[in-house]
Amino acid sequence: MRTIAWRCTAKPTWQWRSGSPGNPRISVDKDGIREGLITLPPNRDYWYPCVELALQGATTTGNAYLCYFQENGVDKIQATTVAQGVWLHSGDVGKESSKSNGGGGGIELEVFLQGGRQSPIQLSSSVSYKISDKTEPWFVIKWQSPLSGVVVEHGQSVIIKFNDPRRNGITLNGKFFQIDHFHLHGPAEHTFAGEAAPRPIELHVVHVAADGTRAVVAIFFDGSGTMALDEGAPFLSDLLAQLTAIKEGRPPLPITTNVHELLPANYDYYRYEGSLTTAPYSENVSWVVLSTPKPQPATIIESLQKNFSELPRPVQPLNNRLVLRTFD
């Protein structure tokens, strides 16, 4: 099964027309970026329209359509507006950089072809197999402490970027991945069967190998009402102070972390092969999801959550992937 993820930005204001055929999800963020998924019907070389939008501008109204077709075996997406009657963009699907300014209609379109290995997913003992990670550990943490980085604005959020060329990382089955950056999601993206609500914060510790493949260690933080402020990880308080500084227009300062202080008491984990959870959704990510949350003072967690405005990506189909876990 092939799925195309698409993302549009448009000016003036574009509203979604109700009933986009065949598209289970369209989300809109606060800057008006729309994104959704198109599941391609089998044996079909065109689909017009696969997404239908209504344009509501200050002076213009009309319709816009995203259309799928194949040309010489290559998947393409086009966007057009009836209001203007012109094709705005024709993009080859499957290139991470297939992005284009749409011209007069002000529509920008990014399209990405996905396989069946997307993230996040829902985790549970019933979808995973228990393995032992004791005799010859598959996942080995080699983070050195302290590690210094800098808070950098990134889209709607921030990342904590590490630049020291000597920095360490992790190994997965003997392959080395160097630590690249931290970022956080609130609420969490990975979900757990049987838990009524998503966990409040998910930290992604992103690593990159020499061949460009990635490994992400996911760590969850839980708010604890009984923990005093000074019992939490200093890194999170420092990060909050930096976020405030950025909002007030002050330049970010270097930030130092003892990475190990962010780890929960035990390292029980799920592992599976997946993707980035934001565009371009590349399927070259090995995931290590630590199942035990790390408690932090509730006030810190609440303050962190206020800094997130993006909805988490919904969980994706597991398809025929193996998920492994190291615990009962």
Smallest gap from Cβ 168 to Zn ion, in A, equals 21
* 298-305 helix and 234-247 helix, angle to the nearest 10 degrees: 30
Cis peptide before 187 (omega within 30 of 0): yes
Instruction: Tell which positions 223-242 bind Zn ion, by CB under 5 A.
Output: none
Helix (H) or strand (E) segment spanning residue 243? helix 234-247
In eight-state DSSP terms, residue 311 is: P
Residue 89 vs 313, nearer CB to Zn ion: 313
The 126-155 contact track toward Zn ion, x by CB under 5 A, reads ------------------------------
Cis peptide before 146 (omega within 30 of 0): yes
Residue closest to Zn ion when measured from CB atoms: 204
Smallest gap from Cβ 142 to Zn ion, in A, equals 21
Residues touching Zn ion, count (CB under 5 A): 1
Smallest gap from Cβ 45 to Zn ion, in A, equals 35
Smallest gap from Cβ 181 to Zn ion, in A, equals 10
Which pair of structure tokens corresponds to residue 87? 């094709």
Residue 204 vs 325, nearer CB to Zn ion: 204
Q: How many residues does the chain have?
A: 328
The 190-219 contact track toward Zn ion, x by CB under 5 A, reads --------------x---------------
Residue 50 vs 205, nearer CB to Zn ion: 205
Which pair of structure tokens corresponds to residue 208? 């990159």
* β-bridge pairing 34-39 and 3-10: antiparallel
Residue 320 CA to residue 176 CA, distance in Å, equals 27
Smallest gap from Cβ 54 to Zn ion, in A, equals 32
Residue 204 vs 271, nearer CB to Zn ion: 204
Strand partners, 203: 184, 219
The 90-129 contact track toward Zn ion, x by CB under 5 A, reads ----------------------------------------
Residue 107 vs 121, nearer CB to Zn ion: 121
Residue 7 vs 204, nearer CB to Zn ion: 204
Please name the amino acid found at residue 77. Answer: I
Report DSSP letters for 48-62, one per residue. Answer: EEEEEEEEE-SS-EE
Residue 9 vs 277, nearer CB to Zn ion: 277
Helix (H) or strand (E) segment spanning residue 224? strand 214-224
Smallest gap from Cβ 326 to Zn ion, in A, equals 22
Smallest gap from Cβ 157 to Zn ion, in A, equals 9
Beta strand extents in 82-168 (DSSP E only):
86-92, 99-101, 107-114, 122-123, 129-130, 139-141, 147-154, 157-162
Smallest gap from Cβ 282 to Zn ion, in A, equals 12
Residue 199 vs 204, nearer CB to Zn ion: 204
Q: What's the burial of 4, exposed, middle or buried (CB within 10 Å: 0-12/13-18/19+)?
A: buried
Instruction: Tell which positions 20-39 bind Zn ion, by CB under 5 A.
Output: none
Residues that bind Zn ion (CB under 5 A): 204
